[in-house]
Amino acid sequence: MNLPQVTLGRSDLRVTPICLGTMTFGEQVDAATAHTILDRALERGIDFLDTAEMYAVPARKETFGATETILGDWFAKHPGLRQKITLATKVAGPSRGMPWVREGGGMTAADIVASCDASLKRLQTDVIDLYQIHWPERHVPAFGSMYYDPAKESSATSIHAQLEALGGLVKAGKVREIGLSNETPYGVHEFVRLAEQHGLPRVATVQNVYCLVSRALENGLDETMHRLDVSLLAYSPLAFGLLTGKYDQSGTDGPDAPKGARIASYESVRKQRWGRADALKAARRYNQLARDHGLTPAQMALAFCYTKWQVASTIIGVTSVAQLDEDLDAYGTTLSPEVLAEIDKIRWEIRDPAI
């Protein structure tokens, strides 16, 4: 599979426009199967992997760091392979109901450094190509919440201090480039402004949710990223499976979880954006549109992300080689002007139910 290369922001990182996300490794996917999936991804031309210190998910104390360990073992099995891969991982933001993350505390500059050192050890590597803040240290809407509430603000570590910690990691050779995740336009602007003002590393990427049923990024964040030369890494392009059609026969109150489906293991997710009745209603509309035009629901949903100007690289998450191949085979699919117009018509009616 001949995939092109894209440049992330103003960095020197050049990657494939599809990134393999690994959060299922260590929970839904055992180490042996994960290594088989990684082998197949490499065989098919993928050179970009994304993980995080808090993975596997659903997050549990027992599996904290498990995914990075699986990746580290895979690198150890293949000497010389690490240099061919662009490796991204993340430092967890302040604990969100996970007391095992820094004993339920916030995210200090020292925490960033300590988390990076622990990730390097688990990944069995000397350098992380792209080190991202998983969610803001500030109290901002994320993971299904809609509104910013100043009364809930609890920030204790300034963006400047976070950048100084990340800059120290870059200077030490432990990190090549930095990025953000689950960020807002304000956050992106501040990270870039302070970096340029103080000669600190400039963020190359933002990893945010982006899919047919969750396009809030197009309400202003896309302009911010375009004008500041920051690249989008789009996650959940299939809306946690809603856009595969597997839940189309589910109940009206939200997706019933078929045995083995990813959402079956995520009770918290079912209560958030992907479990909303309106999200399922919207997904059914998009899925039927795909079928009406001779496409599978997954094919149309992935093609939407693969071809949007806002997206530099789309992060796909799989639990089998078959799923991986299906997602990769969708690359190159072109959506007709008619289909794109129908997609926008549905969005105008339903907006972003899985914000």
Q: Residue 231: pLDDT above 70? A: yes
Quote the Cα angle for 73-79-81, to 5°: 85
Q: Label residues 241-261 b or e (16+ Cβ within 10 Å = b).
A: bbbbbbbeebeeebbebeeeb
**Taking the C-alpha atoms of 277, 307, 40 and 130 in order, what is their torsion angle to the nearest 10 degrees?**
-90
Cα–Cα distance, 341 to 141 (Å, whole number): 30
What pLDDT is stored for residue 145 in this prediction?
Answer: 79
Per-residue pLDDT averaged across 138-155, rounded? 88
Q: What is the pLDDT of residues 131-146, one digit of tens each?
A: 999 999 999 888 777 8
Please identify every residue annotated as catalytic. 55
Q: What's the whole-number mean pLDDT along residues 204-217?
A: 98
Task: State pLDDT tens for residues 243-286.
Answer: 999 999 977 666 765 454 555 555 555 556 899 999 999 999 99
Residues sharing a CB contact under 8 Å with residue 44, sequence separation 6 or more, in sequence order:
1, 324, 325, 328
Q: Which residue has the tokens 């994304």?
A: 50
- Stated pTM of the model: 0.95
Per-residue model confidence as pLDDT tens digits over 318-327:
999 999 999 9
Per-residue DSSP letters for 293-322? TT--HHHHHHHHHHH-TTEEEEEEE-SSHH
Domains present along the chain, CATH in parentheses: 6-241+305-333 (3.20.20.100)
pLDDT tens for each residue of 19-44 = 999 999 999 999 999 999 999 999 99
Helix (H, G, I), strand (E, B) or coil at 345: helix
Distance CA 304, CA 199 (A): 37
Q: What is the mean pLDDT of residues 275-303?
A: 97
Residue 225: enclosing H or E segment and its boundaries? helix 221-228
Distance, first Cα to last Cα, the chain: 33
Q: What is the DSSP string of 91-111?
A: E--S-SS-TTSGGG----HHH
